[in-house]
Amino acid sequence: MLGYFGPAGTFTHQALQTVTQDEARPYPTVPAALDAVRTGEVEAALVPIENSVEGGVSATLDALADGERLMIIREVLLPVQFGLYVRPGTDLADVRRVLTHPHAAAQTRGWLAANVPQATVTEGGSTAAAAAEVANPGSQWDAAVCAAVAGEMYGLVPAASGIADNEAAVTRFVLVGHQGAPSERTGADKTTLVAYMHENRPGALLEILQQFSLRGVDLCRIESRPTKTQLGSYCFSIDAEGHVLDERMGEALRGLHRVCQDVVFLGSYPRADEVPAEVPYGASDGEYRLATDWLGTLRATGRD
C-alpha cells in the first residue's frame, strides 16, 4: 500500500491517482507520511517537494534530509488549478470569509483581491479540509479555495473556476520509498541530494557548485536549508540533471564527498517531463572512459 500527504481531495491525492488507482493511506503531515515509510506502514509515500510559484516545500526537504535515509523513486508533475467553491445557493457577491491552505492563498491572492475584495482570507490546514469545513451548513466560512476534486467530494459548487494568478503553475511531487539500488538510466534523469558544508567560510558554496560545473552537470534546483544545529548553519538541497550511473554525475558525487562534511544521496530517477539532459562536449560517458584509459596507460607505461 502507498501513503500520501492527505487528506483525500488534495492536489497530492490527485497526483497519486496518476501513479495508482489502488487504495492509499492519507497522513496529516509530510513528516508523518515519510515516517510511515520508515516504519513499514506503507511501501512508499507521495509528497509535494516543489512548486513553480512558491518554490521548495520546506517540510518535505527537511523530512528527507533528517532521520533514516529514504530514496526518491519517481516524480509527478501536476498543473495546479484552483476554484472558489461555495455551498449551493451562495453567490460570488455573498462571499465574505474564505478558507484555504497558505500556498493556495498565495497563488490566488491577486484574483481574490480583484474579484472578492470584501472577503477576508484565512489560511490553515489543507485545501480539502477547507472544502470540508465550508460544506458544513453552519460553517463560519462562505467559500474555499481548493481543487475541483475537493469541491465535488464535499458537495460544493464553483462560484468561480481557474482563479490562479499564474495559469502555468505546476507542483512537483515525489514518490519516496526505502533505500535501494537506483532505477536504470533513461537518459532523462534527475538526481536529488543534500550537501553539508564543513564550515561556513568564503567560497564554501562555490566549492560545492564547482563539483557539478567542472563535470558538465546542470542543476535543476538548489535551496539552502538550516541544519537546525546553530544559527547561520545551512545545508543545500540540490536537484541535478543526470543519473548516479552517469560518469559525470559519479565524478561530481565523488568530488562532493571529498569537500563536504556529509552528502545525503536521495535518489536518481526518471524526469516526469522526459526532457533529456544536454551533455556538453567532454562530459559524455565515452569521453570519461577514454580519459580514464589514457591515464591508466600513462601511469603504467609513461606513454600517451
Q: What is the pLDDT of residues 166-204, one digit of tens each?
A: 888 899 999 999 999 998 999 999 999 999 998 878 888
C-alpha cell at 142: 462562505
CB 71 within 8 A of CB 177: yes
The three grid cell numbers given for residue 71, joined into one nine-digit string: 530514496
3-state secondary structure of 77: strand
User: What's 236's DSSP letter?
Assistant: E
Predicted confidence at residue 304, as pLDDT, reads: 78
Give yes or no for a contact between 18 and 76, defined as CB atoms under 8 angstroms apart.
Answer: yes
Q: How far apart are CA 2 and CA 47, in angstroms?
A: 11
Helix H, strand E, coil C: the string for 153-221 is HCCCEEEEECCCCCCCCEEEEEEEEECCCCCCCCCCEEEEEEEECCCCCCCHHHHHHHHHHCCCCCEEE
Hey, what's the cell of 52? 513553480
Reading phi first (left if > 0) and then psi (alpha if -120 to 50, else beta), residue 301 is in: alpha
Q: If you average pLDDT over residues 56-74, what whole number do you get?
A: 94
Residue-wise pLDDT tens digits, 89-144:
999 999 999 999 988 998 899 999 999 999 999 998 889 999 999 999 999 999 99
Q: Where does 28-108 show beta strands of DSSP type E?
A: 44-51, 55-56, 70-79, 83-86, 97-100
Cβ proximity of 271 and 226 under 8 Å: no
Answer yes or no: are the C-beta atoms of 146 and 203 closer than 8 Å: no
* Rounded Cα–Cα distance for residues 76 and 12 (Å): 10
Quick one: cell of 230?
A: 546553530
Query: Rounded mean pLDDT of 143-166?
Result: 94
pTM of the prediction?
A: 0.86
Angle 289-190-62 from CA coordinates, rounded to 5°: 125
Judging by beta carbons within 10 Å of its beta carbon (0-12, 13-18, 19+), is residue 92 exposed, middle or buried?
A: middle
pLDDT in tens, 259-292: 999 999 999 999 999 999 999 999 999 999 999 9
Q: What is the pLDDT of residues 225-239, one digit of tens each?
A: 998 888 878 899 999
Q: Which phi and psi angles does 66 have, rounded to 5°?
A: -100, 160
